[in-house]
């Protein structure tokens, strides 16, 4: 299997999941509630309900999401809902370290009986806070000593009301980071929200094989 094939498969799974869980979609999939009474919504549903089941069906070893922590204005640490790390292992690539980043420039609210984007709320400043650039740059960091070959993978799930969701941001990143010169595999998918809430969905996958340290 080529690394690009793995990335494309993961993006296809996420797009299919977005449609499967309508009207919530990827945007609100953490609001899914299990059938059992007393059950509560849980985080990282795109991993637990879509990606992990597929990987397990292939016979791959799959880890659980590891929550990233962030400090608030009072200096206390809390789980960072927008990002988590996990890993899985395949015969073709060995260990795949996966960072999943969820980013939204929009807020959906209920208007009457329908849900729509709040056109008055702007969350563009969150792009820098999310530090997608830093996570992509980590793909060409020095290999970990004593490790066999492995893969670093970054998945971005983004939501934006622009016609080309996050297109400008990603174009600037590509110009600044020049990841194609670092042998990074990059794939992306875009579509308009299938529940007609007034935004677009952007998926991005960046992956790089880290060679064995000699």
Please state the domain extents for the chain: 3-210
Mean pLDDT of 80-92: 88
Report the first-to-last Cα separation within the chain, whole angstroms.
25
Mean pLDDT of 169-196: 96
pLDDT interval class at 214 (50, 70, 90): very low
CA-atom Rg of the chain in angstroms = 18
- pTM as predicted: 0.88
Residue 81 predicted with pLDDT over 80: no
Q: Are strands 150-160 and 94-104 parallel, antiparallel or unpaired?
A: parallel
The answer to whether 174 and 166 are in contact (CB under 8 A) is no
Q: Which is more confident, 102 or 212?
A: 102
Q: Are strands 108-111 and 200-210 parallel, antiparallel or unpaired?
A: unpaired
Strand-pair partners of 154: 99, 206
What tens digit of pLDDT does each residue of 101-147 get? Answer: 999 998 898 787 778 888 777 777 778 888 999 999 999 986 666 56
Q: Which is more confident, 154 or 38?
A: 154
What tens digit of pLDDT does each residue of 4-13 get? Answer: 999 999 999 9
What tens digit of pLDDT does each residue of 51-60 get? Answer: 999 999 999 9
Residue 74 predicted with pLDDT over 50: yes
The percent of residues above 70 in pLDDT, for the chain, comes to: 86
Question: What DSSP character marks residue 40?
Answer: -
Mean pLDDT of 71-92: 76
The answer to whether 88 and 55 are in contact (CB under 8 A) is yes
At residue 203, φ and ψ (nearest 5 deg) are: -110, 140
What is the reported pLDDT for 146? 59
Residue 38 predicted with pLDDT over 60: no
- What is the rounded distance in angstroms from the CA atom of residue 191 to the CA atom of residue 204? 12
Residue 170 predicted with pLDDT over 80: yes
What is the reported pLDDT for 147? 66
């Amino acid at each position: 299997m080529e690394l690009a094939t793995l990335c494309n498969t993961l993006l296809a799974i996420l797009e299919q999941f977005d449609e499967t869980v309508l009207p919530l979609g990827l945007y609100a999939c953490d609001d899914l509630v299990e059938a059992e009474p007393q059950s509560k919504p849980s985080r990282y549903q795109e991993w637990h309900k879509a990606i992990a089941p597929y990987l397990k069906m292939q016979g791959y070893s799959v880890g659980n999401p590891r929550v990233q922590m962030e400090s608030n204005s009072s200096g206390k640490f809390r789980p960072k809902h927008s990002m988590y790390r996990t890993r899985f292992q395949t015969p073709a690539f060995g260990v795949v370290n996966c960072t999943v980043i969820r980013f939204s420039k929009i807020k959906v609210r209920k208007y009457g009986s329908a849900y729509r984007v709040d056109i008055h709320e702007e969350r563009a400043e969150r792009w820098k806070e999310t530090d997608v650039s830093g996570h992509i740059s980590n793909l060409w960091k020095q290999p970990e000593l004593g490790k066999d070959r492995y893969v670093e993978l970054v998945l971005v799930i983004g939501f934006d009301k622009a016609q080309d969701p996050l297109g400008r941001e990603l174009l600037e990143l590509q110009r600044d980071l020049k990841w194609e010169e670092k042998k990074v595999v990059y794939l992306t998918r875009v579509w308009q929200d299938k529940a007609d809430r007034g935004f677009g969905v952007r998926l991005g996958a960046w992956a790089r094989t880290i060679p064995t340290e000699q």
